Amino acid sequence: MEDQLDQKNIEIKSVQMEKGESKIAYTEFSNFSAEAEKKNRRLFNKFLLFFFILFLVGGSYWFGYSRGKEVQIKESSIIPFLESSIKNETNKDIDFSIYWKVWDILKEKYVDKNELDPQKLIYGSIKGMLAATGDPYSNFFDPKETKDFSQDMEGSFEGIGAELGMKDGILTVIAPLEDSPSQKAGLRTGDKILKVEDKSTMDMSIDAAVDMIRGKKGTDVKLTVLHEGDQETKEVIVTRDKIEIKSVKMEMKENGIAYVKIIKFSDETSKEFSNAAKEIISSNMRGIIIDLRNNPGGYLDKAVNIANLMIPKGKIIVSEEDNSGKRDSVFSTGGDKLSSTPAVVLINEGSASASEILAGALRDNQNIQLIGKKTFGKGSVQELINLPEKASVKITVAKWLTPNGDYIMEKGINPDIEVELSNDDYDNNRDPQLDKALEIIKEKIE
């Protein structure tokens, strides 16, 4: 080796030390030559430098790792929203540590902590976050709610097939659907449902009742009902089935008047209304009544499609304004097969969203009279976004305006002719609003 010591220049002494009867032998190196000493010093310096560098690298890594852990812990609880999607006015850092603190307290102290479902807690947290926006139309749907919502919009679901409502605080059958399981089981309009299975409905919301009554095709649900005029209740067993609901119903009235009721704007609405339009034209109907009462809305594009059949090409149907203030308008594309046929539109407090878009478009473009009561007043547009685990979120992405530029949020659309529909009218199957619509359309076609 280059740095090997020259044995000739080293004197080896053996020294013996006595300690009792023990003898310890060791070797001592001495008398290094000058050249060997220099070589050995260079070797020592190299090793010293190597360990010094190793110390610096290791120390730096340890310091960086420790510091990184502190920063990571800090950043996991305090998130600065600088270039992210949400920024408050003061650009304050948002402290998430309070969320996890409550989470830990709940797990530690809640009386039924072993019954807690972490997934439900997360879903509840998301629902609370959206509720904090103050926007009632931005909602989170868990997997079951997503499935129910999709089925409703498709116009089909599994259940008993009855329209339910609250009347005098009692769950009441408004109407069993034609050929539905509820009708076949003997349920009638006006029946009071006092129990679902063995649970009283007295303090139950309509949504909770519907959730209990709905179920898979082929399964049974026991209802305790009181028929109108009876003194004793009856137990009715209804076997659930798949229910198909048409979103458009048409009836030919006298004097060549077509009555078209749009129940909601679902997947099949455009097709069903188009079929109704063809029948109106082929039957040479002289006037049309469009009934949008109690239509809660639905898909915006379905309302636009119907407007296209009743408004000439190139007219504004609706305008949308996004969160940046940018405004885009949706124009009619033609196919206005019914634009020359006299029409009136029925509206009420239950007409919302897409119903109001269609009513506003027909009023502003065609001077079609609106009859009934002021509409609900929902002037916003939602987008449904699918999420992992088959959940979804519905977010308000824009506000909409009528062709004349009216923003109707919480204001609604006022009818041209206001007509009341009292409880007494409802109980006795009278419809003064429809009667007025028939009167007006007759005047238009005569």
Which CATH number belongs to the domain containing residue 218 in this structure?
Answer: 2.30.42.10
Q: Is the pLDDT of residue 169 over 50?
A: yes
User: Is residue 169 situated within a structural domain?
Assistant: yes
pLDDT at 88: 54
3-state SS assignment for residue 191: coil
Q: Does residue 378 form part of some domain?
A: yes
Is residue 52 a contact partner of residue 58, using CB atoms and an 8 Å limit?
A: no
Strands (E) in 81-161, as ranges, are 94-95, 139-141, 156-159
Q: What is the mean pLDDT of residues 24-38?
A: 38
Q: Do 260 and 230 fall within a single domain?
A: no
On whether residue 135 sits in a domain, the answer given is no
Would you place residue 129 in the very low, low, confident or very high pLDDT band (cuts 50, 70, 90)? very high
Would you place residue 45 in the very low, low, confident or very high pLDDT band (cuts 50, 70, 90)? low
Q: Do residues 237 and 256 share a domain?
A: no
pLDDT band at residue 13 using 50, 70 and 90 as cut-offs:
very low
- 331 in the same domain as 425: yes
The 10s digit of each residue's pLDDT in 71-86 is 343 333 444 433 434 5
Would you place residue 12 in the very low, low, confident or very high pLDDT band (cuts 50, 70, 90)? very low
Is 184 in the same domain as 325?
Answer: no
Q: Which of 199-208, 212-221, 231-240, 274-283 has the lowest mean pLDDT?
A: 199-208
**Mean pLDDT along residues 40-45:** 52
Q: Using a pLDDT cut of 70, give the percent of the chain over it.
A: 77
27-36, 96-105, 130-139, 362-371: range with highest mean pLDDT: 362-371
Are residues 178 and 48 part of one domain?
Answer: no
Average pLDDT over residues 202-215: 83
Backbone angles phi, psi at 164, to 5 degrees: -115, 155
Of 348, 369, 340, nearest in space to 412 by CA? 348
Q: What is the 3-state secondary structure (H, E, C) of 300-365?
A: HHHHHHHHHCCCCCCCEEEEEECCCCCEEEEECCCCCCCCCCCEEEEECCCCCCHHHHHHHHHHHH
Which of the listed residues 27, 48, 76 is the one where a domain comes to its end?
Answer: 76
Average pLDDT over residues 416-428: 86
Mean pLDDT, to the nearest integer, of 132-158?
82
- Any idea which residue has 């129910």 for tokens? 148
Asked if residue 416 and residue 296 are part of one domain, the reply reads: yes
Instruction: Please compute the mean of the pLDDT values over residues 263-274 and round it to a whole number.
Output: 91
Average pLDDT rounded to a whole number, residues 23-39: 39
Q: Compare 220 and 295 and report the one with higher pLDDT.
A: 220
In a domain, 132, yes or no: no
| Total structural domains within the chain | 3
Judgement on whether residues 229 and 252 belong to the same structural domain of the protein? no
Determine the average pLDDT of the residues in 257-261: 97
Mean pLDDT of 226-244: 89
If pLDDT is split at 50, 70 and 90, which confidence band does 17 have? very low
| pLDDT at residue number 305 | 96
Is the pLDDT at 179 greater than 80? The verdict is no
Of 29-33, 42-46, 267-271, highest mean pLDDT = 267-271
Do 302 and 391 fall into the same domain? yes
306 or 242, which is more confident?
A: 306
Tokens of 82: 């600088």
Which residues are catalytically annotated?
A: 353, 364, 378
Asked if 343 and 318 count as a contact pair (C-beta separation under 8 A), the reply is no
**Maximum average pLDDT range among 32-41, 162-171, 246-255:** 246-255
The whole-angstrom separation of Cα 68 and Cα 59 is 14
Q: Which domain holds residue 2?
A: 1-76
Indicate if 395 and 276 belong to the same structural domain: yes
Mean pLDDT of 371-387: 92
- Comparing 166-175, 287-296, 306-315, the range with the smallest average pLDDT is 166-175
Residues 6+ apart with CB under 8 A from 353: 296, 297, 298, 300, 376, 378
- The mean predicted confidence, pLDDT, of the chain is 80
pLDDT grade, residue 425 (50/70/90)?
Answer: confident
CATH number at 302 reads: 3.90.226.10
Question: Does the pLDDT of residue 111 top 60, yes or no?
Answer: yes
The pTM of the whole model exceeds 0.85: no
Give the C-alpha separation, 27 to 132, whole Å: 84
Q: What is the pLDDT of residues 320-340, one digit of tens each?
A: 999 888 999 999 998 889 999
